[in-house]
Amino acid sequence: MKKQTQKPIDKEKLEIRENFQAVLLADTYVTRLAPITKEIPKCLLPVGNVPLIEHTMNWLEANKIYELLVVYTSHSQKIEQYFSQRDKCNMKIQLIHAHDAKTVGDALRELQYKGVVYGDFLLCYGDMVSNIKLQSAIKHFLWKKKENSLNIMTAVLKKTHPFDSNRTYQDDDFAFVIEKQSGDILQIENINKEDYFELNLERLKVSKGAALGQKIHYNYLDNQIYICSLDVLKAFQENFTFNSFREDFMKELLTAEINEEKISSYIVSDSEYSLRASDPRLYYKINQSVIKRYTYPFTVNKMMAYQKQNVLNQDFNIFMGKTTKIAHSTVIGNNSCIGDATQIGENTNVQASVVGKNCNIGSKVQIQRCIIQDNVIIEDGSIVKDSIICSNAVVKKNCIIKEGSILSYNVITKPDTTLPEYTMATTFEYDKDLIEENQDESSKLFEKGFLYTAQLFVQNEAMLGYNQHEIIQNYEDVDDLVHEEKEGSEEDIGQREDAIFQSLAEDIRQIVQEALNDPPKTDHSTVEIHNLKVAENIEGWRCIQVFVPEILNGLIVKFKESANPQERISHIKTLLGNWNKLFRKFVHSDEDSLIFISEIEQFCIAHKDFYDFLHIFLQLLFQNEILTKEYILNWVNDRRNQSTDDQKHFLDLCKDFIEWLESDDDDEEEEEEEDPDGEDNEDDN
C-alpha cells in the first residue's frame, strides 16, 4: 500500500481569525528621547502634527486588526486621559497598566499574568510608523505554524544596507543566520558589541545540509514587528531573566541546547516602510518620511484629516493648515508641514521642518531640519537648525540654536544667546544635585529651565544633525563590506525596482478607482499621484502607463449603457475634462505624449466598443490643450512607418483631423515666408 503524501498547505487560503489581537507596547523602557520623555510618553509625540500612536493604530486598523491591547507603565495618567478623550473607532481597545514594569520582559509577564491574550497575536511598539501589509505576514506565520507546531514566532525583517540611515547604531547592528530553504532564523548576534561572533554549530546541525544551507545576513533590519503564539508569553513568564525581546528571549531561544522551538523570518518588500522613533535622529526621519509619503497611504494630509485638522497640500510635499498666516516674503521649503493657526513673519525661511499648531514665528527667522511642536514662540532674528523645540517653549530674539539640541516643554531661552551643539534643556526637576551643579551655566542660557545632563549622549549619532559618514568611518574594512553588498545587490536591482513600481502602480490604481466613484476627488487624486511619483522617484511615463487605462475603464459601463454615438462622445468629454489636471501634470514631452496616445490606442484595441473613437479622444485632448499639434503629428509620423491593420484603421479615422493639423502647419509656414520679419507689407509700399 502506497504511503499517502500530505498535500502542501496553500498559504493564501489560510484564514486569520476575526478577533486577532495586537499588543502595542506604549512604553519602550529606554530613555534616548530624554528629556522629552520625562514629561510625555513617546507614543504621544507628534509626527506630522499627529500623535505617533495614531499612526500605529491606523496602520493596524487598515490591516484588519480590530482588537488592541495597549500596555504602558510610565505617564499612566496622560495615556489614560488621551484614550478617554479620543474619538471612538472600529477597534476594541483595552488599556493594560503594567504598574511596576521596568523592562519589556516585565510588561509581557504582566500581560501573561492578566490572561487577556487568548491566541496568536502581533507584538509591536507605540512609537512606530509603518505601512507593512500585515495580512501576508500573519498568514506566513500561520503557514509556518501549521507546517511545524514548534514555530512559535515570526520576525518581520527588511533587507537594507548595513549603514542604512534607518538603523539605530546601538540597537540595529544585528547579524541573522537564516536557513535558506525554510527561512528559519538559526542565530542572532549584535555585531555592534563584538568584533566577531561564533556560529552555533550545534544549532546548525538541526538542519540537513547545514554546511550549505545557511546564510549570514548583516543587511537585514529587524522591524521589531513580531507575530507570536502564546508560547512566547509563557517563555517570558517562566524566565524572569528575560528583559529584552531580542537580546534575551530570541537569543536564548536560539542558543539553548535542549530547546527545539523555532523562529521564522518574513522578509517584506522594498516598497514597504517601517521605522521606530528610537532616538531624536529617527524621530525627525519619521516626520520626513510621512511628509515625503514613504508611508503611503498613511500620509500627512490623511492623518491630519483623521484628527479633524484642516490642511492644504501644495506641490513639493508642503502641507499647511487652512488658518495658517504666512507673510508674502517668507519661504517655506520642500518637505515641510505647518500646523493650523500658526503665524510666520516677514523674510523667514523654513526648510524641511515640521511646525506645530498655534505657533508664533517672528521675522527673519531661519528654521532648518527641525521639529517645532505646538504653541512655540520663536522671536525675530533667531536661527534654529537640526533641533527639537517642544510645546510652549520660547526662543527669544537673535538666539542661535545649534544642531542636535533639544528644548523640552516650557523652556525659555535668554535673548542674544547661542546654544552649543547637542544642548538639552528641561524644566523637569530630574536630579537636584545635577541641576545645582549646572546652575551657573543654565542661568547664562535660560530664563526658565536648566541644562539636562543626566544622560549625555556619548554617541551623538542619535541626535539631529549628526554626520552619518562619521559612523561609517568607525567600521574596519568598510570599503570591502560595501563593495560586497553592492555586488550582491546588482543581480536583484531590477527585481527591487519592479517590486517598488508594482506597489506604486497598485496605489495609483486604487486612487483612480476611488476618484471614478467620486469625481470631485479627481483634483485631490492628481496631487496624490504626483506626490507618489516624486516620493518613489519614478519616471512620469511609467505612471502614465498605469493611470490612463485605469481612467478609461471608467467609460466601459457608460458605453454599455448607451450605444448612441453622441452620448458616448459626451461621456468621453466629461471623463477627460475631469482628469485634465492630471494629464497636464504628466504629459510634457514627445516621449510622454507618444506613450499617452499609445495607451489610449491599446485600450481601443482591447475594447471593441472604443475601436472607432480614437479620433474623438485626440480631438478632445487637443481642445483641452493636453496634446499639442506637434505631439499629435509626431504620433502620426511614427504610426505611418507601421503597417498593422489597427494602425491603418486609426490613421484613417483621424484622416480629416490630421489633414486639418497639417494644413494649419502649412498656413503658418506660408505666413512666415510672406512676412519673415513679422512686419506689415503695406508699410513697404
pLDDT digits (tens, 9 = 90+) for 540-589: 888 898 899 899 988 888 888 888 889 899 999 999 999 988 998 888 88
| Alpha-carbon Rg for the chain in angstroms | 30
What pLDDT score was predicted for residue 209? 41
Alpha-carbon span 407 to 424, nearest angstrom: 6
| Averaged pLDDT, 63-87 | 92
Question: Can you list the alpha helix ranges (DSSP code H) found in 429-555?
Answer: 432-437, 439-445, 468-472, 478-490, 493-517, 522-536, 540-552
Give the per-residue pLDDT at 346: 95
Maximum average pLDDT range among 62-66, 429-433, 476-480: 62-66
Neighbours of 329 (CB within 10 A): 12
Distance CA 72, CA 490 (A): 44
Query: What does the alpha-carbon distance between residue 609 and residue 606 come to, in Å, rounded to a whole number?
Result: 9
Quick check: 281 and 112 in contact, CB under 8 A? no
Residue range 469-493, pLDDT digits in tens: 343 333 333 333 333 333 344 444 4
pLDDT at 18: 82
Model confidence at 80, in pLDDT bands (50, 70, 90)?
very high
What does the pLDDT read at residue 681?
42
Q: For residue 352, what is the DSSP state?
A: S
Residue 286's pLDDT is 92
pLDDT confidence of residue 194? 63
* pLDDT higher than 70, residue 169: no
Please list, residue by residue across 528-567, b when 16 or more beta carbons sit within 10 angstroms of its beta carbon and e when fewer do. bbbbbbebbebebbebbbbbbbbbbebbeebbeeeeeeee
Segment 592-623, tens digit of pLDDT: 888 899 889 888 888 888 888 888 999 999 99
More confident residue, 304 or 224: 224
Task: Give the residue, 463 or 510, on which the prediction is more confident.
Answer: 510
Predicted confidence (pLDDT) at residue 664 exceeds the cutoff of 60 = yes
Domains within the chain, CATH numbers bracketed: 12-276 (3.90.550.10), 280-462 (2.160.10), 500-674 (1.25.40.180)
Residue 491: what pLDDT?
Answer: 41
Give, for 344, the enclosing helix (H) or strand (E): strand 343-344
> What pLDDT score was predicted for residue 139?
92
On the question of pLDDT at 382 being above 90, the answer is yes
- Give dist(CA 646, CA 607) in Å, integer: 13
Residues near 680 by Cβ (< 8 Å), separated by ≥ 6? none
Determine the Cα–Cα distance for residues 293 and 673; give it in Å rounded to an integer: 53
Q: What is the DSSP letter of 567?
A: H
Query: What local confidence, expressed as pLDDT, does residue 414 receive?
Result: 95
Q: Is the pLDDT of residue 108 over 90?
A: yes
Please state the rounded mean pLDDT for residues 523-547: 81
CA 450 – CA 432 distance, rounded (Å):
11
User: Cα separation of 144 and 439, whole Å?
Assistant: 59
Phi (first) and psi of residue 108, to 5 degrees: -70, -35
Coil vs helix vs strand at 239: coil
Residue 366 has pLDDT above 90, yes or no: yes
pLDDT over threshold 80, residue 499: no
- Pull the grid cell for residue 429: 526637576
Higher pLDDT, 321 or 397: 397
DSSP string, 455-486: T--S-GGGSTT--HHHHHTTSTTHHHHHHHHH
Average pLDDT, the chain: 82
Under DSSP, the state recorded for 36 is G
pLDDT band at 228 (very low <50, low <70, confident <90, very high): very high
Hey, what's the cell of 15?
Answer: 484564514
pLDDT at 171 (0 to 100): 63
Q: What is the pLDDT of residue 254?
A: 85
**Model confidence band, residue 458 (pLDDT cutoffs 50, 70, 90):** very low
- pLDDT number for residue 308: 64
Residue 315 has pLDDT above 80, yes or no: no
More confident residue, 215 or 123: 123
pLDDT score of 180: 82
Of the given ranges (151-160, 278-287, 428-437, 618-627), which has the lowest mean pLDDT? 428-437
Q: Note the pLDDT tens digit of each residue in 338-347.
A: 999 999 999 9
The pLDDT, as a whole number, for residue 483 is 35
pLDDT given for residue 71 in this prediction: 94
Q: Give the count of alpha carbons within 13 A of 276, CB side only.
A: 25
Cβ–Cβ < 8 Å for 581, 526 = yes
140/134 Cα distance (integer angstroms): 10
Per-residue confidence (pLDDT) for residue 384, from 0 to 100: 96
- Write down the pLDDT at residue 682: 40
Name the residue among 187, 69, 65, 192 with its Cα closest to residue 130: 65
DSSP 190-235: ETTT-S-----HHHHTTSTTHHHHEEEESSEEEEEEEEE-HHHHHH
The DSSP code for 260 is: -
